[in-house]
Amino acid sequence: MSNLAVLPILIPLIAAITLVFFNGNVTVSRVLTRLFSLVSLGAALYIAWHAMENGTIILETGDWAAPYGIILVVDRLAALLIVTTNLVAAACAFYAPHAGLGKKEYYYFYPFFFFLITGVSGAFITGDIFNLFVFFEVLLMASYALIVLGGDKVQLRESIKYLLINLFSSMLFVTCIAFLYAVVGTLNMAHIAERVQEVDQQGILTTVGILFFFVFATKAALFPLYYWLPHSYIQPNPVISALFGALLTKVGIYSILRVFSLIFVHRLDITHELFIWIAILSMIFGVIGALSTNNIKLIIAYNIIPAIGFIIMGIGVFNQDALSGSVYYLVHDMIIKAALFLIVGAIAYVAGTSDLRKMGGLIHYYPALGWLLFIAAFVLAGIPPFSGFIGKLQLLQGAFGDGEIILAITALITSLLILYSIMKIFIRGFWGEKDETAGFGTKSVKGMIAPIAFLLALSVLLGVGAEFFYPIVASVAQSLLDPQIYIDSVLKE
Amino acid sequence: MYKTNDLILRTTTSLIAFMMLGFAIYLLIAGHNAPGGGFVGGLLTAGAVLLMYMAYGTEAVEKMIPINFTTLVPIGLAVAVGTGVGSFIFNQPFLSHTFGYFTFPIFGEIELATAMLFDVGVYLTVVGVVMTIILTIANDR
């Protein structure tokens, strides 16, 4: 039944509404959160299996035919991302009770958590550009609430910045949609793509496309527009940072991937050339940020930016290899960023500080945490048996195949520096003499380890089981290269 | 302490709030064929309740309308989502709506649509949100 496509939006929405009623009762909230996150994960897995077996799932909401109503489209790319989103959400749901949220759990933390998942899933599934804007707002509203929850002084300062920049880019988003609607006269993405194709993407449409790119680049934190991200992402609780780092920027990058593989694909020499330069600059500036600081949370937050650079690099090169690399890296990065934020959250919790200079010798007290960080660093940098490797290999093959030598070399050097920035946490934080005076080892990390290990196991599986995952990703890349597949499946012509 | 006598404000409020509530219900129901709908109906209801708060004070109104406005938000959302999910039972796509003609004793033949239920959800949510915002700021000391 076609109603399958709405389940990833509907289940978290119902969960959020239900949890508002149980706000006062933390025990019930926790149990329900875990239950709903597992139900949602199960539904996502079933939908993904269905989409892989029987092709794209289309839902015409309200029984209105294609360009007139809002269409929900679960193609293979959307299915992959929904499953990843739900995996991250489930891990965070199991981590949250141990994350030291304290009083925040009484102030609608769990409903906002599910509203965030609703928005993210909706943005991945929708086939309508204005509906995409609405789901962006749903997830941003929930993220405003989550970032300010608790009301510390720094939190208030950073949330003002976060709110202003996102409000501005949302306004620009609406303006872009207005421009596009004035030119093509439709809001359905497949129908827009068809009409842009008919007029061969004339000058004004390329301009609108680049404006769209700036909107999504603000959400995704690409080179000139990333300055709001690092400091605002480290202020809330680690479990909230993990959700933000894993999901929010990835929605922006998914929108770029969708819009620039479906709608604006007729002037690659202008748009996609721009992406390559922005990718190079994002990698360089992001990794410089990660090397510049001794705050472990900030190191991870800055590491989001080069990762986004890697993904946009694949979109810029725009061939089969590079696009499958981008998709692989996108899925890998969502999982590993969530794991890393949860790990540094646990480290900051046990060490009582997030300053790297004030800790040392933690491996004597928390061996499991140390080795998880070690594996996570290898996964992130792309050491062969792990998942970061396959994505980067594909990206580099794509870049070399297209003769983008500067891009490929920047990417390689960036990978090295990313490894250094994470290993710095391991070496300075975990190595060293046992320091009896510092008072480490008193806090328990039981309950935090399991969700982290689950996420890391997934990324190891993604790397070791590459032969199973690669054909799926390659077919996603193939369908991205041929927008006609998407258009035909939605408009049924 | 000198206490103002706001007899005129209170008397006119009883009349005006009553008319506002009536007009709000009219807007909610008229939404299909005339300007109006759940959103503006909800705003006007919240306006009427707010007027009563201003004229009679917090305690008196809380006694008159013993509703926790915050719980109206999830109830309204549940009603709206429920109308969408209802289409699952009839094996229709999500958010499909239907309508029918019914004959009532006084009004005669009337068209009833399930879209009205969705509007009621919007109405409850808007009332809940607006009242929560205003009362939270008002009670903040």
Best mutation target among B94, B117, B136 (most A Cβ atoms within 10 Å) is B94
Please determine, for residue A187, whether its predicted confidence score (pLDDT) is greater than 80.
yes
Whether the CB-CB separation of A338 and A91 falls below 8 Å is answered with: yes
Q: Do B93 and A63 touch (CB under 8 A)?
A: yes
Query: Pairing mode, if any, of strands A71-74 and B108-113?
Result: unpaired
Please determine, for residue A82, whether its predicted confidence score (pLDDT) is greater than 70.
yes
Best mutation target among B81, B91, B95, B132 (most A Cβ atoms within 10 Å) is B95
Interface confidence, given as ipTM, is: 0.91
Distance CA A128, CA A452 (A): 35
CA distance B30 to chain A (A): 22
Tokens 């920049």, residue? A165
Residue of B nearest to A65 (CA): B93
* Minimal Cβ distance to B81: which of A17, A21, A61: A17
Query: Pairing mode, if any, of strands A71-74 and B99-104?
Result: unpaired
H or E element that contains B102: strand B99-104
Q: Do B93 and A62 touch (CB under 8 A)?
A: yes
Spacing of C-alpha A253 from chain mean position? 8
Torsion sign (Cα): A184, A189, A195, A197: positive
Q: Do B95 and A62 touch (CB under 8 A)?
A: yes
Tens digit of each residue's pLDDT (9 = 90 or more) over A436-487:
666 676 777 788 899 999 999 998 898 888 888 889 999 999 999 999 999 9
Spacing of C-alpha A181 from chain mean position? 28
Cα–Cα distances (Å) from A361 to A116, A427, A482, B49, B126, in that order, read 37, 9, 53, 62, 55
Residues 6+ apart with CB under 8 A from A8: A40, A43, A44, A47, A82, A85, A86, A121, A124, A125
CA distance B137 to chain A (A): 16
- Residues from chain B that touch A118, judged by Cβ atoms under 8 A, are none
Distance CA A340, CA A296 (A): 10
Q: CB distance from B96 to chain A under 8 Å?
A: yes
pTM: 0.94
Q: Which two tokens stand for residue B45?
A: 């209801």
- Domain locations in chain A? 3-491
Distance CA B29, CA B38 (A): 8
Beta-bridge mates of residue A188? A128
Please determine, for residue B45, whether its predicted confidence score (pLDDT) is greater than 90.
yes
Best mutation target among A9, A20, A125 (most B Cβ atoms within 10 Å) is A20
Tens digit of each residue's pLDDT (9 = 90 or more) over A375-394:
999 998 888 888 888 889 99
- Residues from chain A that touch B81, judged by Cβ atoms under 8 A, are 10, 13-14, 17
pLDDT of residue A137: 95
* Minimal Cβ distance to B94: which of A14, A17, A59: A59
CA distance B49 to chain A (A): 24
Q: Do A62 and B94 touch (CB under 8 A)?
A: yes
Tens digit of each residue's pLDDT (9 = 90 or more) over B65-78:
888 888 999 999 99
Q: Using DSSP, state whether A166 is helix, strand or coil.
A: helix
- Residues from chain B that touch A2, judged by Cβ atoms under 8 A, are 93
Whether the CB-CB separation of A127 and A189 falls below 8 Å is answered with: yes
CA distance B78 to chain A (A): 7
Tens digit of each residue's pLDDT (9 = 90 or more) over A319-356:
899 999 999 999 999 999 999 999 999 998 888 888 88
Please determine, for residue B99, whether its predicted confidence score (pLDDT) is greater than 70.
yes
User: Where does residue B89 rank: exposed (0-12), middle (13-18), buried (19+ CB within 10 A)?
Assistant: exposed
Please determine, for residue A1, whether its predicted confidence score (pLDDT) is greater than 70.
no
Q: Do A3 and B93 touch (CB under 8 A)?
A: yes
CA distance B125 to chain A (A): 12
- Residues from chain B that touch A59, judged by Cβ atoms under 8 A, are 93-94
Most confident of A231-240, A377-386, B123-132: B123-132
Residue of A nearest to B115 (CA): A62
pLDDT of residue B141: 62
CA distance A20 to chain B (A): 7
Average pLDDT over residues B80-109: 86
Please determine, for residue A362, whether its predicted confidence score (pLDDT) is greater than 90.
no
Confidence of residue A286 (pLDDT cuts 50, 70, 90): very high
Please determine, for residue A271, whether its predicted confidence score (pLDDT) is greater than 90.
no
